[in-house]
């Protein structure tokens, strides 16, 4: 599949089965994820793999959007050590983590799995339940699994602005 085909086929999957995801697929997803570029290659992010029943139960205390996934990933950004643009002091930690998250989402789709970017979660509670996340800005949760037979893109999935509306040539 070409990258364009993958980008267009990927959708926010909100119906997952509880079928276990093979370790080799998780490994390839993580390899693609850490290949993401970051500002000055400082890599100020951490990816937490949530997979045990105990860890998934904790995660479910912070969001209702796990969709029955057998595994989830949380991505966090650490401002200390991230590139800071000198002209306006913009810290790139959250941008770097968002790039990493996008790589993860696309890698999941490339493996024939489903996920969605979950931003609706109680970050302070997540940090309380997982103290290793304390010093991070938590960017997103990605529940990952095999799409259910009834899973399909949302109605608005294919609604996109025209290139002529989104791009300004200077």
Note down the domain range covering 81. Answer: 3-166
Q: What is the model's pTM?
A: 0.94
Count of Cβ atoms closer than 10 Å to residue 140 Cβ: 21
Query: How many domains would you assign to the chain?
Result: 1
Tell me the three-class secondary structure of 39-103, residue by residue: HHHCCCEEEEEECCHHHHHHHHCCCCCCCCCCEEEEEEECCCCCCEECCCCEECHHHHHHHHHHH
CB 55 within 8 A of CB 131: no
- CATH code: domain of residue 67: 3.40.109.10
Q: DSSP letter for 36, please.
A: S
pLDDT tens digits along 145-155: 999 999 999 98
Torsions phi, psi for 11 (to 5 deg): -145, 165
Average pLDDT of the chain, as a whole number: 97
């Amino acid at each position: 599949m070409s990258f364009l085909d993958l980008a267009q086929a990927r959708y926010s999957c909100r119906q997952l089965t509880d079928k276990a995801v093979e370790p080799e697929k998780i490994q390839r997803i993580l390899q693609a994820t850490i290949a993401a570029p970051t500002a000055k290659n400082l890599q100020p992010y951490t990816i937490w793999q949530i997979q045990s029943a105990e860890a998934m139960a904790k995660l479910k205390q912070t969001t209702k959007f796990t969709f029955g996934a057998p595994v989830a990933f949380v991505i966090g950004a650490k401002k200390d050590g991230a590139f800071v643009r000198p002209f306006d002091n913009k810290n790139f930690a959250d941008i770097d983590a968002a790039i990493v998250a996008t790589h993860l989402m696309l890698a999941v789709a490339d493996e024939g799995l489903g996920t969605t970017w979950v931003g609706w979660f109680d970050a302070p509670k997540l940090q309380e339940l997982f103290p290793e996340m304390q010093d991070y800005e938590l960017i997103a949760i990605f529940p990952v699994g095999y799409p259910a037979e009834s899973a399909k893109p949302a109605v608005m999935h294919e609604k996109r602005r025209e290139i002529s509306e989104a791009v300004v040539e200077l």
